């Protein structure tokens, strides 16, 4: 057996195999260096922009007397089988500190008691309201309104998927700006005002997005965030750091270049007529949020319009994340397929002579590092491990590479945690900060590699044309953050402004 093994290793060390293995090593090393240089650059851009932003907007943006001049906003809340959280989410939205708004809940053919729960909680009754179908959707069965809550309406429709539900909501809204909120999300009272602020400051703005934070471990009472906490379990805890890194660095870094390619489908504000002009949300993709933003870039640049799509770091929306491996895997595979569909259906934006930073910088980055990245990472890690076991890579070199890869991941995660604490400080207790630091370090030992495997699997599914259904993604929810009475006082309208010490 040893003779055959030695002959196999010798064969790999000579001829074309040697060159192929060396090429794999170099490709992986070049990719590793390039992606981390880009991430570090985005970190510096984001840190500078956030510190600058917090200095300018530490206080409330508008005095109370001028808040009435903010434009009215329609909040669209698509829901499918969300009976556990939808009522709490609507109550949270009703406490929004905004002068004029409406809430349009779209019940997309739920098979649970989502529709009944809304009718019972808000006294909704069916009304003969005209429905203007500017965007094609599945059949709308009826529109409901409430005498007790005049801000709340519900559209009941046949199941057509999340994109279809949002399009139905857009058909029903009355105001020029609309905000999409997921049914499992809790919005802080001032978040909508801060997300709308860019539209007041710059007439070119057509869309703005805010920050998503992990709701698991927090407490919500009567629709208000009563207590900020961290999850007790490791899996949602890892996602806390992941969300901080993705939003504070990933998206904040692209915004100053007008190269932001994604606004989370859980919380974003859009100019309605611009979205209708490009046909609304596509119902043949699972990544409807990214696809919409990329199409906005593509069409507005094609029309030679001066526009801005921005990210605002302090409008916070709290969302429940998966607590089990199966739901998390399904979510990440779905996200990766959505990324692939959004990129390849809009490939014409890349290197377009009118593409700007979105087409010449952000799009190639997303294609190389986000779409192909999981493939390169998985193949690269597997190859390095195999080569080390075969003795084709010195053990010392392998360990140095592994330490560098993990060390860079720890650096990026800890940077995200520190920036959050220096700027927003929502996790103020020392015990919370210590736990965040521990999670920021430990997520690099297994969790991030697991996420790469799922994204790799999602890429393969898309390349092979498998699982082409474009309906709602389902994750298990426990709703443990809901309680009838708060353990402590409700969160202030603007937790950032209430901090006495701030850079």
Residue 163 pLDDT > 90: yes
Q: What pLDDT, on a 0 to 100 scale, did the predictor assign at position 491?
A: 42
Tell me the pairing of strands 224-227 and 185-187. Answer: unpaired
> Which stretch of DSSP H or E encloses residue 403?
helix 395-423
For 398-451, how does the pLDDT look when each residue is reduced to its tens digit (9 = 90+)?
A: 777 778 778 888 888 888 887 777 677 788 788 888 888 899 889 988 898 899
Q: What pLDDT, on a 0 to 100 scale, did the predictor assign at position 444?
A: 87
Tell me the pairing of strands 267-271 and 205-214. Answer: antiparallel
Residue 118 pLDDT > 90: yes
Residue 78 pLDDT > 60: yes
Token pair listed for 449: 């590699």
**What separation, in Å, do the N-terminal and C-terminal C-alpha atoms of the chain show?**
66
Range with top average pLDDT, 286-290, 346-350, 381-385, 401-405: 346-350
Residue 488 pLDDT > 50: no
Q: What's the chain's length in residues?
A: 503
* Runs of H (alpha helix) within 346-372: 356-357, 363-365
Q: What pLDDT, on a 0 to 100 scale, did the predictor assign at position 495?
A: 36
- Compute how many other C-beta atoms are within 10 angstroms of the C-beta atom of residue 433: 17
Average pLDDT of 31-40?
Answer: 82
308 forms beta bridges with 205
The class of domain 39-371+473-483 in CATH terms is: alpha beta
**Residue 322 · residue 235 · CB < 8 Å:** yes
Q: How far is CA 89 from the centre of its chain?
A: 18
For 178-211, how does the pLDDT look when each residue is reduced to its tens digit (9 = 90+)?
A: 999 988 788 888 889 889 989 988 999 999 998 8
Listed range (177-186, 214-223, 417-426, 465-474) with the worst mean pLDDT: 465-474
Q: By three-state DSSP, how is residue 293 classified?
A: helix
Q: What pLDDT, on a 0 to 100 scale, did the predictor assign at position 140?
A: 93
Residue 36 pLDDT > 90: no
Residue 105, φ and ψ in degrees, nearest 5: -90, 130
Q: What pLDDT, on a 0 to 100 scale, did the predictor assign at position 251?
A: 85
Residue 384, φ and ψ in degrees, nearest 5: -65, -40
- Quickly state the pLDDT bin for 58 (edges 50, 70, 90): low
Angle at 320 between CA 189 and CA 169, to 5 degrees: 65
Angle at 454 between CA 452 and CA 460, to 5 degrees: 105
- Quickly state the pLDDT bin for 15 (edges 50, 70, 90): low
Report which of residues 311 and 428 the model is more confident about.
311
**Residue 319 burial by Cβ neighbours in a 10 Å radius (0-12, 13-18, 19+):** buried
Domain ranges of the chain: 39-371+473-483
- 215 vs 219: CA distance, rounded Å: 8
For 34, 37, 269, the CA distances from 31, given in Å and listed in that order, are 5, 10, 35
Residue 493 pLDDT > 60: no
- Quickly state the pLDDT bin for 485 (edges 50, 70, 90): very low
Report which of residues 85 and 223 the model is more confident about.
85
For 232-255, how does the pLDDT look when each residue is reduced to its tens digit (9 = 90+)?
A: 889 999 999 999 888 877 788 899
- 260 vs 308: CA distance, rounded Å: 9
Token pair listed for 338: 């959505």
Considering the chain, what is the average pLDDT of its residues? 83
Q: What pLDDT, on a 0 to 100 scale, did the predictor assign at position 463?
A: 87
Residue 339 pLDDT > 60: yes
Average pLDDT of 315-328?
Answer: 88
133: Cα within 13 Å, side-chain hemisphere: 9
Closest to 75 (Cα-Cα) out of 170, 212, 144: 170
- 133 vs 169: CA distance, rounded Å: 10
pTM of the model: 0.86
Residue 123 CB contacts under 8 Å (≥ 6 apart), including other chains:
146, 147, 148, 149
For 199: left if phi > 0, alpha if psi spans -120 to 50, otherwise beta; the answer is alpha
Q: Which residue has the tokens 């070199």?
A: 397
Token pair listed for 238: 């890892």
Residue 494 pLDDT > 50: no
For 51, 56, 102, 203, the CA distances from 200, given in Å and listed in that order, are 21, 16, 19, 7
């Amino acid at each position: 057996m040893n003779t055959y093994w030695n002959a196999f290793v010798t064969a790999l060390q000579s001829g074309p195999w040697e060159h192929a293995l060396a090429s794999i090593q170099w490709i992986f090393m070049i990719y590793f260096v390039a992606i981390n240089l880009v991430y570090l650059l985005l970190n510096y851009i984001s840190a500078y922009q956030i510190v600058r932003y917090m200095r300018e907007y530490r206080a409330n943006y508008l005095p109370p007397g001028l808040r009435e001049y903010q434009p009215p906003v329609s909040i669209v809340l698509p829901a499918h089988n969300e009976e556990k959280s939808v009522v709490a989410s609507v109550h949270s939205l009703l406490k929004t500190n905004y002068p004029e708004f409406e809430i349009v809940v779209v019940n997309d053919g739920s098979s649970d008691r989502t529709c009944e729960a809304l009718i019972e909680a808000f006294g909704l009754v069916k009304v003969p309201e005209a429905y203007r179908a500017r965007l094609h959707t599945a059949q709308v069965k009826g529109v409901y309104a409430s005498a007790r809550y005049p801000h709340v309406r519900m559209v009941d429709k046949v199941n057509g998927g999340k994109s279809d539900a949002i399009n139905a909501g857009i058909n029903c809204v009355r105001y020029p700006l609309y905000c999409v909120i997921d049914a499992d999300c809790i919005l802080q009272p001032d978040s909508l005002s801060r997300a709308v602020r860019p539209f007041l400051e710059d007439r070119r703005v057509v869309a703005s997005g805010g920050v998503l934070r992990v709701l698991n471990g927090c407490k919500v009472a009567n629709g208000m965030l009563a207590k900020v906490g961290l999850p007790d379990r490791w899996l949602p805890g890892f996602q806390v750091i992941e969300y901080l890194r993705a939003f504070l660095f990933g998206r904040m870094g692209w915004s100053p270049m007008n190269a932001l390619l994604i606004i989370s489908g859980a919380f974003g504000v859009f100019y309605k007529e611009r979205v209708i002009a490009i046909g609304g949300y596509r119902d043949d993709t699972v990544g409807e949020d990214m696809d919409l933003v990329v199409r906005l870039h593509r069409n507005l640049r094609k029309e030679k319009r001066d526009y801005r799509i921005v990210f605002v770091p302090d409008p916070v929306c709290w969302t429940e994340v998966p607590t089990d491996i199966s739901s998390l895997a399904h979510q990440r595979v779905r996200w990766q397929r959505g990324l692939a569909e959004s990129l390849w259906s809009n490939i014409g934006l890349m290197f377009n002579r009118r593409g700007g930073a979105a087409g010449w910088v952000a799009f190639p980055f997303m294609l190389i590092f986000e779409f192909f990245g999981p493939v390169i990472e998985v193949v690269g890690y597997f190859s390095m491990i195999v080569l080390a076991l075969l003795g084709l890579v010195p053990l010392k070199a392998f360990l140095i590479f592994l330490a560098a890869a993990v060390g860079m991941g720890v650096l990026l995660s800890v940077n995200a945690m520190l920036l959050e604490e220096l700027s927003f400080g929502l996790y103020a207790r020392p015990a919370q900060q210590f736990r965040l630091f521990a999670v920021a370090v430990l997520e690099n030992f297994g969790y991030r590699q697991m996420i790469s495997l799922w994204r790799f699997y999602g890429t393969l599914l898309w390349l092979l044309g498998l699982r082409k259904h474009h309906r709602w993604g389902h994750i298990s929810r426990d709703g443990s953050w809901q309680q009838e009475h708060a353990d402590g006082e409700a969160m202030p309208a603007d937790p950032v402004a209430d901090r006495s010490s701030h850079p």
